[in-house]
Amino acid sequence: MQNTNFSRIIDQSNNIIFGFISSTWRSKSISLLSILTGYFLFANFITKFISEGKNELVMVPIIILFIEFIIRIKPSSKSRNFKFWLVIDKVRIGSTYAVILEAFKLGS
């Protein structure tokens, strides 16, 4: 098959959709553990500061800045720090899930 724009789009979409299935067990387990670690840490972190009720206005911007900082420092995929960044990014995804789930639990 020729390497056309359409074939590249199909290959990239297959990689995005089915990339998790074709990856190794090591990368799957590291990704899952990173997401669950991010959820666990931020769920406890958020619950502690919500129950205290005095640091909410300070902690929300800090959490947002932390998440934006992780997004903006993405190294190139050829960098040796890229795998470490992937783990940190999965922790960010887990923390975002914890924040959203906590908001639904509070009804806001």
Kindly indicate the confidence band of residue 3, based on its pLDDT and cuts at 50, 70 and 90: confident
pLDDT at 87 over 70: yes
Domain spans in the chain, listed from the N-terminal domain onward = 23-106
Q: Is the pLDDT of residue 36 over 90?
A: yes
pLDDT of residue 33: 94
Q: Cβ neighbours of residue 94 under 8 Å, at least 6 residues apart?
A: 34, 35, 36, 37, 38, 39, 40, 41, 42
pLDDT classification of 37: cutoffs 50, 70, 90: very high
- Does residue 107 register a pLDDT over 90? no
Decide: 92 and 67 in contact? Cβ < 8 Å.
Answer: yes
Q: What is the pLDDT confidence band of residue 108, given thresholds at 50, 70 and 90?
A: low
